[in-house]
Amino acid sequence: MPLSEHEQRMLDQIESALYAEDPKFASTVRGSRLGMAGSRRRLQAGALFVVGLALLIAGVALPVKPGGFPIISLLGFLVMFGAGVLLLVGGRRGKSLGDAPRGGGSSSGQGTRTRGNRKSTGGFTHRMEERFRRRFEQE
């Protein structure tokens, strides 16, 4: 179910306030979104996993075992393990911490704040709690 226009504006305001409050955290959270690079990374990891599985099975099936040790199966397991590692941690590299927020400025006129005037506005969490209280009292 898509968001209404009002909900989308509120979400944009929350996002811009989050960027103003803690840009490093916001960039980290935004960097976890899946994109084309992430899907390509998943495809590569999946293909590598299938190759490793084929090597694992071939190592068991083939009579080639130097010294009685199934070296091909070990190689297949290592390839499968590498595919899993690529899938889990490979997508986190290459994300820039300086991504700009999508919403731009907020429509309520708050703008971007600096750390110096944070005490006067009450901070991000305080504003969110106030908005929640007002919304709860209206219903």
pLDDT per position as a tens digit, 28-86: 776 655 455 677 888 899 999 999 999 999 988 888 888 888 889 999 999 999 999 98
CA distance 59 to 114: 61
pLDDT given for residue 105 in this prediction: 44
Does the pLDDT value for residue 109 go beyond 70? Answer: no
For every residue of the chain, which 3-state class applies, written as one string?
A: CCCCHHHHHHHHHHHHHHHHHCHHHHHHHHHCCCCHHHHHHHHHHHHHHHHHHHHHHHHHHCCCCHHHCCHHHHHHHHHHHHHHHHHHHHHHCCCCCCCCCCCCCCCCCCCCCCHHHHHHHCHHHHHHHHHHHHHHHHC
Most confident segment among 4-18, 86-100, 109-123 = 4-18
Instruction: Identify which of 88-92, 104-108, 124-128 has the greatest average pLDDT.
Output: 124-128
Asked if 67 and 93 count as a contact pair (C-beta separation under 8 A), the reply is no
> What is the pLDDT, as a whole number, of residue 134?
86
pLDDT at position 36 is 53
pLDDT of residue 77: 94
- The pLDDT-based confidence of 100 (bands split at 50, 70, 90) is very low
Q: Average model confidence (pLDDT) for the chain?
A: 75
Are 96 and 35 in contact by the 8 Å Cβ rule? The answer is no
Taking a C-beta distance cutoff of 8 angstroms, is the pair 127, 17 a contact?
A: yes
Residue 31's pLDDT is 60
- Residue 47: what pLDDT? 93
